[in-house]
Structure 1
Amino acid sequence: MNSKEVEIITQTISFVKETLKNAEGGHDWFHIERVYKNALLIAKEETVDEFIVSLGALLHDIADAKFHNGDETVGPKVAREFLENVHVSENVIVHVENIISNISFKGGNFNQKFTSPELDVIQDADRLDAIGAIGIARCFNYGGFKNRKLYDPAIPVNMNMTKEQYKKSTTPTINHFYEKLLLLRDKMNTTTGRKIAEQRHAYMEQFLDQFYGEWNGER
Structure 2
Amino acid sequence: MRKVLRVDASARRDGSVTRDLADRVIAKLGSSEVITRDLLDGVPFIDETWVGANFTPESDRTLQQIEVLAYSDQLIREVMDSDTLVIGVPIYNFAVPAALKAWVDLVARVGVTFAYTETGPVGLLKNKRAVIIVASGGVASGSEDDYAVNYMRHFLAFLGIVDVEVVAADQLMLDAETSLRGAHEAIENLAASHTSAIS
TM-score, length basis structure 1: 0.27
Higher fraction of helix: 1
Higher fraction of strand: 2
